[in-house]
Amino acid sequence: MPPLYSDYTNFQLSISDIALIYLLIFWGCSLLINPYKLKAGNGLVWICLVGLTIAGWVSIIGSVDPILSRYHAFRFVLLLLFYLYIVNELQSPVWVIVPIALQIMIQVPIAIGQFFAQSSLGLQRFGEHLLNPQILGISIIPVNELRFLRAYGLSDHPNILGGSIAFSLVILLAIVMYGKHRQPVWASILFLVSFPALMLTFSRSAWLSLSLAGSLMVVCEAVARRWDSVKRVSVLGVLSLIVVLPILFQNFSLFEKRINSGNVSQDAPMQERAYLIEAGNTLFVEHSAIGIGLGATPLAMKERFENFLVSHQPPHYVPLLTSLETGVVGGIFYLILFLMPLMLFITKWRVYITMPFVMGSLALILAVSIVSLFDYYTWYTTGRVWQWLAWGLFSVAIEKASE
C-alpha cells in the first residue's frame, strides 16, 4: 500500500509559524497599549475570508480526523488575524522587502550548495532534510539512468522552495519597476542572487508563475508608456540570463528532461496529478456538503481507496482541494477570492496600470494563483502565509485605489 507521510497527520509548528504567533502577540499588546479602530480592508475580500474560516470550522463535523481539522481551523483564525495585521499595519514596502531579503540570504546559498553537492549540507538541526538522490522519495530528475537531486533549501520539497522564491522575485520585480530612489538597485541585486536558485528547484509551476506575473507588469508598463521601468526590467532580464547561462549549459539535459520537449502532459508527475484530481473529484461528490475536513484529504484518500496507485496526498489543484475539504460553501468563497482580482483588472485596467501598489499586488496574487493550479501547498501549512499575504496586500491596494 502507498505510504501516508506523517507530515500530513502531525501537528506541525515551523519557525515561520512561531514568528507569526509572536507577531500577532506583539501586535495584540500594541493594540492594548494604543487601541484604535481596526479596518477590514476590502469588504468582499473580508467577507470571503471570514466565510472560508467559518467553513473550515464547520468541516470539522464531517472530518475523518476531527482533531487534525480543528488544528488547521485554528491556524485559519491566526491567518485571518494576519490578514488584519497587513491591512492595518503595512505602511511601507520595506516591511515586505526585509523578510524577503532574509529568506533569500538563508535559502538561496543552501539551495545552490545542495544542487552542486548533490546531497544535503549537514544542516539538519536547522530543518534541512537528509538528501540523497539515491533514496526513494527524494525529489530528483532522472536522466540516462542517473538520478539528479533538485534544490530543497530548508523546505520540505523543491516545489515549495521554488514557489517561495518565485513569489519573492515577483515582489522584487515590482520594486525594480515601481521603486523609488535606490530601491530598484537593491531589489535587482537580490533578484540576480535568487534567480539561479529558482532555476535549480526545477519547479515548472514556479517558473511559469514568475514568467506570467512578470509579463503582466511589463506589458502594463509598456501600455502606459513608462519606458524607464521597461528598460530597467529589460536590463535585469539580460543580466539574469547571463547569470544562469553557465548553469543552463552545464545541466542542459536536466532542463530538457524537465521541460520534456513540449510533451509535459505525458510525464509521470503530470499523470500523477491527473490521478489525484480524479480521486479528489470522487471524494468531493461523496462529501460535497461540508467537506472531509481541513487538512484531512490524505487520510481520507487512504480510507476511501484500497488500491491507490500513488502516495496518499492532496490533489494538486487548490480550487478542487478547497471544496473537497470545506464543502461547496467554502469552495464558493475561495472561487470568489480566486476570480475577483481578474474581474477587477478586466473592468478597471486603465486605472490600475497607473497604480504601482495595485499592479504589484495583482502580480503577486496572479503568481500564487498560478501555482495553486498545479500544486496544493498554498492551501496547506507550508504555503498558506503566502496566499493570505497576497490577499491582504491586494485588499489594501484596491482600498487605496478607491479612495
Query: Do 140 and 75 sit in the same domain of this protein?
Result: no
278 falls within a domain: yes
pLDDT at 381 over 70: yes
C-alpha dist (Å) from residue 159 to 62, 103, 147, 260, 383: 31, 16, 17, 17, 11
The pLDDT, as a whole number, for residue 244 is 96
pLDDT at residue 8 above 90? Answer: no
Tally of CB atoms within 10 A around 215:
12
Residue 114 and residue 253 in one domain: yes
Q: What's residue 270's pLDDT?
A: 78
Cα distance between residue 183 and residue 311, in whole Å:
45
Q: What is the pLDDT of residue 32?
A: 94
pLDDT given for residue 262 in this prediction: 53
The residue type at 85: Y
Give yes or no: residues 41 and 78 share one domain.
yes
Question: Domain check: are 232 and 100 in the same one?
Answer: yes
Q: Is 14 exposed, middle or buried (0-12, 13-18, 19+ CB in 10 A)?
A: middle
Percent share of the chain, pLDDT over 90: 72
Asked, for residue 7, whether it belongs to a domain, the answer is: no
Instruction: Kindly state whether residue 223 falls inside one of the protein's structural domains.
Output: yes
Q: At what angle do helices 43-58 and 384-401 cross, to 10 degrees?
A: 150
Q: Which residues contact 131 (CB under 8 A, 6 or more apart)?
A: 114, 119, 120, 138, 149, 152
What is the model's pLDDT at position 233? 94
Does position 14 have pLDDT exceeding 90, yes or no?
no
Per-residue pLDDT reduced to its tens digit, 53-70:
999 999 999 999 999 999
66 and 110 in a single domain? The answer is: no
How many folded domains does the chain comprise?
Answer: 2
Residue 264 has pLDDT above 60, yes or no: no
Instruction: Say yes or no: 283 and 248 in one domain.
Output: no
Q: How confident is the model at residue 265 (pLDDT cuts 50, 70, 90)?
A: low
Q: Which residue has the higher pLDDT, 103 or 6?
A: 103
Residue type, 134: Q
**Mean pLDDT rounded to a whole number for the chain:** 91
332 shares a domain with 398: yes
CA dihedral 89→369→127→255, nearest 10 degrees, is -140
**Least confident among 121-125, 192-196, 303-307, 376-380:** 303-307
| Per-residue pLDDT tens over the stretch 91-146 | 777 778 888 888 888 999 999 999 999 999 999 988 889 999 998 889 999 888 88
134 falls within a domain = yes
Across the range 308-319, mean pLDDT stands at: 88
Q: How confident is the model at residue 249 (pLDDT cuts 50, 70, 90)?
A: very high
Residues 253 and 333 in one domain: no
d(CA 390, CA 33): 29
The gap from C-alpha 110 to its chain's centroid, in whole angstroms, comes to 20
Cell of 208: 511559469
Copy the grid coordinates of residue 154. Answer: 530548508
The predicted-structure confidence for 336-362, as pLDDT tens digits, reads as follows: 999 999 999 999 999 999 999 999 999
pTM reported for the whole predicted model: 0.93
Query: What is the domain range of residue 134?
Result: 92-262
**Residues 166 and 241 placed together within one structural domain of the fold:** yes
Q: Is the pLDDT of residue 261 over 70?
A: no
Inform me whether the pLDDT recorded for 13 exceeds 80: no
pLDDT at 4: 60
pLDDT value for 6: 63
The domain boundary, picked from 262, 288, 307, lies at 262
Q: Count the neighbouring beta carbons within 10 Å of the beta carbon of residue 378.
A: 23
Both 53 and 112 in a single domain?
A: no
Report whether pLDDT(2) > 70.
no
Residues 6+ apart with CB under 8 A from 259: 204
Residue type, 148: F
Q: Which residues contact 153 (CB under 8 A, 6 or more apart)?
A: 106, 107, 108, 110, 111, 114, 128, 161, 197
The CA distances from residue 143 to 120, 146, 207, in Å, are: 20, 5, 21
pLDDT at position 12 is: 75
Q: What's the CA gap between 233 and 13, in Å, rounded? A: 38
Predicted pLDDT at 320: 96
Nearest 5°: the CA angle 397, 399, 403 is 115
Mean local confidence (pLDDT), 302-319: 88
Q: From CA 8, how far away is CA 377, in angstroms rounded?
A: 11
Distance CA 252, CA 245 (A): 10
